[in-house]
Structure 1
Amino acid sequence: MPYPHDSDMVLDFPILIGDIGGTNARFAIVVDSYAEPREFPVVQTADYPTIDDAIQNAVLDQTNVLPRSAVLAIAGPVDGDEIDLTNCDWVVRPNQMMDTLGFSDVVVLNDFEAQALAVVALGEEHLEKIGGGSAETVGSRVILGPGTGLGVAGLVHARRTWIPIPGEGGHVDIGPRTARDEQVFPHIEKIEGRISGEQILCGRGLTNLYRAIAAADDVEPRFITPVEITTAALDHSDKTAVETLDLFATYLGRLAGDLALIFMSRGGVYLTGGIAQKIVPTLQNGKFRTAFEDKAPHSDLMATIPVFAITHPMAALTGIAAYARTPARFGVETAGRRWRKQ
């Protein structure tokens, strides 16, 4: 059963940490409070039938270190003793993990909580600034990540503690504003009659947008995958792909600006995930920033809020490691999300 109200309790080392998304899973072991995490090769979730198999084969069988605790960040809401991931078939069963993998303590977080924790754990060398002023040291922050899906989290500072706020903000409605939007949006795939942010602002969303632009212009789409589209856009070899990435940046800017207003994120907005890292040149071309600041009557305020692209390839693991070492530094509520062997 979940162990209630224990977010201030330390975890026993060694600690297995994991960042599990819809496509990739990243694992490391934190041996003690001072050691850097020992990272393992990235796992493709499709290569293993269960998360337990992945941990056993890709991590535990590759080391003589036996973790006593585990902190796992997963792409999906944490609810109950059987936790489904949003974009892959794995199910996290902490009680079963303790029985079969030897853990005595398991904490399961939302993956964007981990990304939020990373924001205060990373150095400036891992942040690419995309306009705006200086970040307030303890100002509220927003984390936004287009990847397999669209992750969103907030981070607020209160009583000398950083408190991550997980959610499902990637599923908010998104709609047309310009005449070009009105041409493109009728061709974007809907889910039960609506277009959410995730229908455009993620890997498959990029493909949806590319196809919609091609349909609006009555041209045959040349590409199938997000990588093909992004590559063609960045090397300017395909007009439709270039516009796709420009509109992607524009729509991402609009949503990021909305979230910045909601959280009044004077500490900055942070873009994370593989897509953001790959398209930094497009994010820097002005379209993202113009859309981000176009929030009348608050455009002057928006111009002061900085945006950063996180360039660290293992950012979430860095955040999880920071939490695993010193849980008291963060206001992470673990009631219903921590399991301990009795």
Structure 2
Amino acid sequence: MARDFHSDAPLAFPILIGDIGGTNARFWVLADSLAEPQQFPNVRTADFETIDQAIQQEVLDKTSKQPRSAILAVAAPIEGDEIPLTNCDWIVRPRRLIEQLGFSDVLVINDFEAQALAIASLSPDDRMPVGPRTDAPVASRVVLGPGTGLGVAGLVHARDMWFPVPGEGGHVDLGPRSERDLAIFPNIERIEGRVAGEQILCGRGLVNLYRAICKTDGIEPIYNDPADITSHGLSGHNPQAFETLTLFVTYLGRLAGDMALIMMAKGGVYLAGGISQKIIPALKRPEFRAAFEDKAPHTALMRQIPTFIVTHPQAALAGLASYARTPEQFGLATDGRRWRG
């Protein structure tokens, strides 16, 4: 019988690590703390009725290294023994994974905690600086990820350890500052009367912002897909798409700066998620850093905080692997999130 288990003891190798999103699930198996991960093709969540089936057919049936433990990062809050994913029909049931798939130990954390674990040790090859600073001091950090939604997490450095801090920072208020903002914001679709960061700074948020700009300009929108808005915004062929992308990186810079101040993130702010990698030319233009630094009376402080785009193709899995190999370097809370047979 599986039971709740709280311990800082390392998980037993081989370890299955998984990054479970609404659309895709990605898996690695670590044979031991020194081995390179065995990687598996991306799994579309819609192709399997349950996560148990996906793990069995796409991992366990295709490797001789049968994992004893599992660490899963999921796009959902972890509360209780059944963890429904936010944007797909899968439900993670750690007790069932133990009883039916043979794991002895299962740890489930939030997906942006995994991103936070990753930014503790990203190499220069896996991050692209935005702005004048290219170093990353060993100090507290923040990661933001505009994608399907807007994920935010912190990473505190203390006592020679990294402590990931999950949260829901994507739902803080985002308000107008400039005259143009004041004209556009009344046309932005709201949630219960307010504009949260995720209403603009994600895929559907791009569409929301684009439509608001078109309405402000008195024209009919012609794009409905975030990818179309992004591509035409980068090319500059469409004025409204170009302004959408310009304001998107401006607002992202403002929110990133707010999070840097909250966390005193002298170790840097990291932009993760699929959108960040797709709009690198826009992020490298002046607007992002200008908005990030525009935090009077702390402008001078903000200029000293580096910002990066995470370019590692599977950063969340890399973060989970770092924890699996060296758990003593991380103050990861396991209470209520670790199950053992």
TM-score, structure 1 as length reference: 0.96
Residues 182-193 of structure 1: matches in 2 within 5 Å?
182-193=182-193
Q: Is the 8 A contact 1:87 1:149 kept in 2?
A: no
Query: Which stretch shows the higher mean deviation, 267-276 or 186-195?
Result: 186-195
Amino acid at match of 2:4: P
User: Which residue is 1:215 aligned to?
Assistant: 215
Cα deviation for residue 171 of structure 1 reads 0.9
SS of 1:73 mapped into structure 2: strand
Cα deviation for residue 233 of structure 1 reads 1.2
Q: Is the 8 A contact 1:132 1:305 kept in 2?
A: no
Q: Is the 8 A contact 2:137 2:268 kept in 1?
A: no
Distance between the aligned counterparts of 2:248 and 2:33, measured in 1? 41
SS of 1:153 mapped into structure 2: strand
Residues 50-89 of structure 1: matches in 2 within 5 Å?
50-89=50-89
Distance between the aligned counterparts of 1:333 and 1:256, measured in 2? 25
**Which structure 2 segments of 5+ residues have no match?**
none
Q: Pairwise CA RMSD of aligned residues? A: 1.3
Amino acid at match of 1:197: G
User: Which residue is 2:27 aligned to?
Assistant: 27
Question: How many residues matched?
Answer: 339
Cα deviation for residue 223 of structure 1 reads 1.3
Distance between the aligned counterparts of 2:296 and 2:172, measured in 1? 20
Amino acid at match of 2:19: D
Query: Which stretch shows the higher mean deviation, 226-235 or 132-141?
Result: 132-141
User: Which residue is 1:3 aligned to?
Assistant: 5
User: Which residue is 1:244 aligned to?
Assistant: 244
Q: Which runs of 4+ in 1 moved over 6 A?
A: none
- Aligned pair 1:163/2:163, yes or no? yes
Amino acid at match of 1:47: D
**Which structure 1 segments of 5+ residues have no match?**
none
Distance between the aligned counterparts of 1:27 and 1:136, measured in 2? 28
Distance between the aligned counterparts of 1:191 and 1:85, measured in 2? 21
Q: Is the 8 A contact 1:132 1:307 kept in 2?
A: no
Q: Is the 8 A contact 1:134 1:304 kept in 2?
A: no
User: Which residue is 2:320 aligned to?
Assistant: 320
Amino acid at match of 1:113: E
Cα deviation for residue 270 of structure 1 reads 0.5
Distance between the aligned counterparts of 1:224 and 1:71, measured in 2? 37
Distance between the aligned counterparts of 1:43 and 1:219, measured in 2? 40
Amino acid at match of 1:229: I
Cα deviation for residue 106 of structure 1 reads 0.2
Amino acid at match of 2:160: R
Cα deviation for residue 134 of structure 1 reads 5.5
Identity of aligned residues (%): 62
Relative distance call for 1:197 and 1:249 in structure 2 (3 A) is same
Distance between the aligned counterparts of 2:187 and 2:200, measured in 1? 12
Q: Is the 8 A contact 2:120 2:155 kept in 1?
A: no
TM-score, structure 2 as length reference: 0.96
Distance between the aligned counterparts of 1:253 and 1:29, measured in 2? 36
Amino acid at match of 2:177: R
Residues 316-341 of structure 1 show CA distances to partners (whole Å, capped at 9, x for unaligned) of 11010010112111110101110000
SS of 1:185 mapped into structure 2: helix
